[in-house]
Each structure stands twice: as C-alpha cells, then as structure tokens.
C-alpha cells in the first residue's frame, strides 16, 4: 500500500511536460505580440479593439492566457510544496490557488468575448 498525501509530489512527468509545452506557447505568443506592437502599433482605441476582435488574435490570446494559468498552477504548486509542510495548510493554499486560476480563466473568456 503506497501512502501518498493528496498534495504530494506524484504528478511528475505529465506536469513537467505541460509546464514546458505551455512555456513554448508563451514564447511564440510573446514574439508574435511584440512583433505586432513594433510592426503595426495600435494608434488608438479603435485599433486596440480591432486587434482583439479578429478570429485569429482572440483565440490565440485565450490560448496564451490558458497557458499562463496552467503554467502558473504548476509553478505556484511547486512553491507551496517546497515551503509549506503541513498537509492541511498546503491543501488549503493549493485549493485557493486553483480556484483563483479558474476564476481568471472564466474572466479572460468574458473579457475577450464580452
């Protein structure tokens, strides 16, 4: 019988891999977005709104935000695992982190498609 705490470090490879996949997505989006800001900087509100209303940039932005949030989940969870030793407190902090990140995701969808 393997005894593992529900907040232990046993999600290894999948999260390790997803942390890297999301990182690559963020690098690509960062370069793309920097290119847009430098290449054809939005001249005002109309341009800015236009930029995020397209069927290309809008879903791409959501993909970027989703990557940020999942990446943040793994990173913040690692921080709790390193510094918070009590299972109850760690579970509480991880739960709060997860809820906050899910809220951010829903908020992002509302912003981009609202």
Partner 1 sequence: MSPPTAQPPRQRPKYYDLNLLNLPAPGLLSIFHRISGAVMFLVLIPLLLFMLQQSLQSEAGFQQWKSWLSHPLCKLIALGFIWSYLHHFFAGIRYLLLDVHWGIKKESAQASAKAVLVLGVLGTALIGAWLW
Collapse the DSSP code of 53 into the 3-class scheme (helix H, G, I; strand E, B; otherwise coil) and give the result.
coil
Asked if residue 99 binds partner 1 (CB under 8 A), the reply is: no
* Cα–Cα dist 7/2, whole Å: 14
Among 45, 56, 85, 88, binds partner 1 (CB under 8 A): 45
Q: Report in angstroms how near the CB of residue 40 gets to partner 1 at its nearest.
A: 16
Nearest Cα residue to 104 out of 80, 55, 68, 77: 68
Residue 3 CB, shortest distance to partner 1, in Å, is 28
Q: Which stretch binds partner 1 (CB under 8 A): 3-11, 40-48, 87-95?
A: 40-48
């Amino acid at each position: 019988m393997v005894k593992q705490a529900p907040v232990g470090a046993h999600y290894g490879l999948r999260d390790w891999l997803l942390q890297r996949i999301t990182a690559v997505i963020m690098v690509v989006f960062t370069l793309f977005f920097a290119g847009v800001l430098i290449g054809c900087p939005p001249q005002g509100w109309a341009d800015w709104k236009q930029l995020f209303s397209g069927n290309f940039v809008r879903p791409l932005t959501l993909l970027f935000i989703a990557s940020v949030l999942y990446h943040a989940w793994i990173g913040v969870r690692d921080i709790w695992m390193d510094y918070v030793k009590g299972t109850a407190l760690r579970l509480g902090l991880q739960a709060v982190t997860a809820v906050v990140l899910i809220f951010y995701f829903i908020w992002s969808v509302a912003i981009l498609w609202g």
